[in-house]
Amino acid sequence: MSVFSVGSWLTLIPVVHGSAAYAIALRQELLSRPFDALAVPLPESFEQEVLRGVDRLPGLSAVVRLSAPEEDSESMARRGTYVPIDPCQGVIAAIRLALGERKAIEWIDSEGDEIQNHAPVFADCYAIRHTTLERFCSAMLPAIPPPSSGLGSGQLVQRIDAMASRLIAMRTKYRWITALCPLEAWPWLREAICKKLETPADRSQETLEQSEESFYAPELYGVDPRSYLFLLGELPFITGLVERARQEFQEDDQIVAEGLKELFVAARSSYRQELGNRARQIPPLLISQCLKYVRNQTLLDRRMTPSFYTLAKSAQQMMGDAYTTHLVNAATEYPFDDPLMGGSSHSEGDGLPTMRLGIGVGELPTWGQAKLVSRLPGPPLQWHSLELRRPVEKKDQRRWKSRWNPYMQCSWPEDDTQIESFRNRVAQRARQILGADLARVEKFTTSIMDGLDLRETLRHWYDGSLYVKVNPPSIGPVNVTVMIFDPQPDPREYSWRATWFSEHPEESTLAFFATPFQKQMIGPGIGMSTYGGSMFIYPPRPIEDIWQDSRLDFTDTLEQRLVAAACMHSESRHVALLSPTPPGIALKKIAKRYSRKLVHVPLSHFSDSVLQQLRIFHVLNGRHVRSYAADFIRKS
């Protein structure tokens, strides 16, 4: 005997509204049980329009019924209830299944419109993936309050009484009945059915109370795509994945969990498509780290599935505003709006009027604004504010570019700090590489020198000899560092070449070639550019502009001129070279010409995301711009 069984004729299954995981588990439960009729917790007056809406799926819609205003009411604001035709709603999924299996559908809820704004908060339905529907619902029993307590208690008691009476009346019509009810009414509806079976009640009072209320006929509306977040229990993107899995006969028990990964990947694709080379690198590792951060934030909120706000806030903190904008747009897109995908969710597709929804409010054609309450309420919704920097419009870029003063130019201090720190790391890595190349191993005699060499000692284990390491003396500082980020820089792409001098002793003398900042204006007096290659001289000292120096005219390419300038101005014999590939013959000849040696540091030794962030720097039109530049520059 199942916990859902009420005698041999009735199976009473509770429903948690607005959860894809629960809707999937409910569908599997219905498929495992034989039944002649499905009873759903909706009024009979909604039958025709709800079935019409279900037939339109995967197109989204809502059935709205407005209450007639009372004659003595001072407020002219309309109110009503609506049923979201959402594939991830358990009741809608059950109706869809019953239609496909050609089962009878009965409508057992009362006609009253006094519905709570939201259902009580229960455990996250994500747990259903690791247990059964029966165990999950049984575990919720201690958290279900009696219907006589709490907000809207009288209305819930009336609904329970009406559903119990109608289920008992169906007993003579069907042999096996499967009934759905809200989870908060499940134990009390079961108790009411058992009492009515023992003592049949008179239904004349219920009929009288219902006849006193006045309603307009329910109507089916298409929904504005901007309102999908308020209509659907899941994100529109996740709802689309569930519907796609249904059409393609795929297993859908992992969709809610795996759908978040697909959402981040889809946002990355649109982000790269819009920004091209200007987009920062978002490797799978960064997405994985962001998902871990989302998980931790979700657990701190005492949830198991993240809210939309948690997703967006986490993406903003780890990947920046531009990517987060694409993530928000991707999360709110429902793919089956396109008629080619099998649906037309809003009006013009099949003549339906279009409504807009908010939290507890809706705007209806011809009726205007009305207070609406869902008859299948999911978790409560809350407003959160998240400030995202909007993309710069073309007209603003043109205006900022026209006001640029060519005689005033400086850097953004935060960019300088990051690139100088990275230069120091590259120089240290070059010294380590050079020291490792000059180190030697010799047989132990009287001193262990710089330590025991285990590899060579084990190799001669058979004769019992010990070998020690002998590190060379310090090679001194590497005062010039060259970074080549693009292995084959195109002079047409990197058309801006400049030599900058330090503002204080902690900065290097810098020469570089980069993309023109005038093409990427991000604020008034703020341009953005991308390094193709750069040269750092530290400690700083004044030099002639390497791009105008006639002594370097023998070079043919941008990277050759940069390396030649580094070798010419280097005070030490070694020059650190950071590049994707080892220096070729041409670069080695240039170094030999100045009696210098290039110490190659592979670009692969550093993270792609770090390099992509370091390559992007900002140019300010004067030091006064630094006072407000932080409002437009966000590199995190």
**pLDDT tens, residue by residue, 459-503:** 888 888 888 877 766 566 789 999 999 888 899 999 999 999 998
Structural domain contains residue 558: yes
- Residue 143 sits in the same domain as residue 274: no
pLDDT of residue 93: 93
Query: Hey, what are 466's tokens?
Result: 């010990």
* Domain end position, chosen among 173, 195, 220: 220
Consecutive H or E run containing 79: strand 78-85
Q: Exposed, middle or buried: residue 511 (CB in 10 Å: 0-12, 13-18, 19+)?
A: buried
SS3 498: strand
- Residue 512 sits in the same domain as residue 481: yes
The pTM assigned to this predicted structure is: 0.74
Which range of residues forms the domain containing residue 618? 410-438+474-631
* Domain end position, chosen among 220, 253, 269: 220
Q: Are 79 and 66 in contact (CB under 8 A)?
A: yes
447-465, pLDDT tens digit by residue? 877 788 888 888 888 888 8
* Domain end position, chosen among 374, 400, 430: 374
CA angle 261, 281, 626 (to 5 degrees): 120
- Residue 154 sits in the same domain as residue 267: no
Q: Which alpha helices (H) appear in 276-412, and where do they start and end?
A: 284-300, 308-319, 321-331, 394-402
Q: Are 456 and 480 in contact (CB under 8 A)?
A: no
pLDDT of residue 497: 94
- Residue 319 sits in the same domain as residue 268: yes
Q: Which residues of the chain have pLDDT under 70?
A: 1, 69-77, 113-121, 148-154, 200-213, 252-253, 277-279, 338-350, 435-439, 472-476, 634-636
Query: Residue 122 and residue 556: Cα distance in Å, rounded?
Result: 70
- Residue 596 sits in the same domain as residue 568: yes
- Residue 191 sits in the same domain as residue 282: no
Query: Residue 33 and residue 11: Cα distance in Å, rounded?
Result: 9
Structural domain contains residue 192: yes
Structural domain contains residue 468: no
pLDDT of residue 253: 66
Backbone angles phi, psi at 78, to 5 degrees: -80, 155
CB contact burial 325-345 (16+ within 10 A = b; e otherwise) = bbbbebbbbbbbbeeebebbb
- Residue 362 sits in the same domain as residue 295: yes
**DSSP string for residues in 565-599:** HHHHH-SSSEEEEEESS---HHHHHHHHHTT-EEE
pLDDT of residue 560: 94
- Residue 493 sits in the same domain as residue 597: yes
Query: Residue 12 and residue 6: Cα distance in Å, rounded?
Result: 7
Structural domain contains residue 168: yes
pLDDT of residue 394: 83
pLDDT of residue 481: 94
Structural domain contains residue 357: yes
pLDDT of residue 120: 62
- Residue 213 sits in the same domain as residue 315: no
Structural domain contains residue 459: no
The number of distinct structural domains making up the chain is 3
Q: Are 356 and 224 in contact (CB under 8 A)?
A: yes
SS3 41: coil
- Residue 214 sits in the same domain as residue 246: no
- Residue 212 sits in the same domain as residue 272: no
- Residue 267 sits in the same domain as residue 323: yes
Query: Residue 326 and residue 364: Cα distance in Å, rounded?
Result: 30
Query: Residue 353 and residue 222: Cα distance in Å, rounded?
Result: 6
Structural domain contains residue 380: no
Structural domain contains residue 231: no
